[in-house]
Amino acid sequence: MSFFDTIDKAKVPQHVAVIMDGNGRWAAQHGTDRIFGHQQGVESVRNAIKAATRAGIKYLTIYAFSTENWNRPRFEVEALMSLLVNVVKAEADELDKNNVCLKIIGDRDSLPKKVIKETDKMVARLSKNNGLTVIMALSYSARWEIINAVKSIAADVKKGKISTEDISHELFDSYLSTANIPDPELMIRTSGERRLSNFLLWQLAYAELYFTPKLWPDFTEEDFFEAICNFQQRERRFGMTSEQLKKRM
Ligand code: IPE
Ligand code: IPE
Ligand code: MG
């Protein structure tokens, strides 16, 4: 039986965030170079999108490249950027056919022009779709995002557009690159690493964290469904007691 059949379709998370990690180790295990590992990882992205669509998830955020990843060897950074451009071009038709909408978050100004051009084209092309929204975090880091939000809030206070008293959780949300997108209820990280690596620090405040030893290129649709099932077995208490939650049901 597939994990898909075990999923309670009425209780799937609205938003799942994924740190796809382990491409380099996968490549080393297969005696190839890191770039081949990244290429293999593309198939897992396709599978995650398919799985999220099948499960009825509304938002899927994938961490594709962090601010810190700019510190990798130049050859790898360039290979990742050109892989991205090729994938965006090659996948547009399929994503459109599957009614997928795309958003990009991250430090746009740090990206090569070619990446900006191709991703902009793809975002525009898919903008009317209303199926799964894929949010690609590209040259993204949560601290960068939070600092940006703080700067914009400070500027708006200075201009008199808002007052200090207006600053609330909700207002802060609206200054983030994920404004109007619900927080992820589930965060999946592959490759056995158990850290957030500067990913969605604000938005993941109450997310359930799921870590799997599988390396990203080995992560299948079935693995994605297993993570959803695992999520559905958890009791999300939000500071309350188990008894309180049972009374509410
Ligand atoms: C994840 O795989 C992809 C990116 C960070 C771009 P890694 O490249 O981090 O793979 P490992 O962690 O070295 O195995
Ligand atoms: C996090 O993976 C970033 C992405 C998946 C894009 P890394 O492999 O770069 O994270 P660290 O450096 O091991 O924490
Ligand atoms: Mg890694």
Domains, the chain, with CATH or none: 14-140+184-233 (3.40.1180.10)
pLDDT in tens, 171-205: 999 999 999 999 999 999 999 999 999 999 999 99
Exposed/middle/buried for 203, CB within 10 Å: 0-12, 13-18, 19+? buried
- Catalytically active residues are 21, 69
pLDDT in tens, 103-156: 999 999 999 999 999 999 999 999 999 999 999 999 999 999 999 999 999 999
pLDDT in tens, 145-178: 999 999 999 999 999 999 999 999 999 999 999 9
User: Which letter does DSSP use for residue 245 in this model?
Assistant: H
> Rounded to whole angstroms, how far apart are CA atoms 91 and 47?
13
Whole-number Å distance, alpha carbon 163 to ligand 1 midpoint, is 42
| Residue-level pLDDT at 25 | 98
Minimum CA distance residue for ligand 2 atom 2: 21
| Residue-level pLDDT at 9 | 96
Q: Please report the DSSP string for 14-38 in residue order.
A: SEEEEE---HHHHHHHTTS-HHHHH
Instruction: Please state the φ and ψ torsions of residue 175, each to the nearest 5 degrees.
Output: -95, 0
Ligand 2 atom nearest to 72, measured from its CA: 9
pTM: 0.98
Exposed/middle/buried for 110, CB within 10 Å: 0-12, 13-18, 19+? middle
Minimum CA distance residue for ligand 2 atom 14: 197
Ligand 1 atom nearest to 20, measured from its CA: 1
Whole-number Å distance, alpha carbon 80 to ligand 2 midpoint, is 13
